[in-house]
Amino acid sequence: MSDENKYNVKKTEAAWKAQLSKEEYKILREKGTEFPFTGKFNDHFEAGTYSCKGCGNPLYNSESKFYSHCGWPSYDDAIEGALELLPDHSGGVFRTEIVCANCGGHQGHVFDDGPTETGLRYCVNSASIDFKKSPSKQ
């Protein structure tokens, strides 16, 4: 992770490993990627908030989620201040990595090919997020 001391949540790698599953650890702490179309939130469209699996920081509102046909949950906007954008030159291509601004956990990448007004596509690993359903309105 990049300069982990700047994040509010500070844990040892042993503590992260105890908290997260092997897949969650690989993605959040080692910048891994889940296989496309395998994540539980790819086809998930309930009303609520998606948060960082590592620390619970709210990242996306369900209103910003759209089906992108790319195999990963996609959003056209993030909650203000929830993410940090980092240059990523891995794999021989330039991309913009997105990490949780609270714990530094890798979420995925953001691209400028989104189909909505923002023009953005936050491409996120299901294993790096959790979901809290909005309370029912009566």
Please say whether the dihedral angle defined by the alpha carbons of residues 5, 11, 13 and 16, taken in this order, is positive or negative. negative
pLDDT at position 60: 98
7 part of a folded domain: no
pLDDT at position 4: 61
Q: Tell me which of 52, 55, 103, 123 is the catalytic residue.
A: 123
Q: What is the pTM of this model?
A: 0.91
Summarize pLDDT for 30-48 with one digit per residue, the tens: 999 999 999 999 999 999 9
100 is an active site residue: no
126 part of a folded domain: yes
Our count of domains for the chain comes to 1
Residue 126 domain boundaries: 19-133
Query: Which two structure tokens, joined as six digits, stand for 29?
Result: 């702490």
36 part of a folded domain: yes
Q: How many angstroms separate the CA atoms of 97 and 107, rounded?
A: 8
79 part of a folded domain: yes
Q: For residue 30, what is the domain's CATH number?
A: 2.170.150.20
Summarize pLDDT for 39-72 with one digit per residue, the tens: 999 999 999 999 999 999 999 999 999 999 999 9
Closest CA to 57 of 4, 3, 8, 125: 8
Q: Confidence band (pLDDT; 50, 70, 90) for 3?
A: low
4 part of a folded domain: no
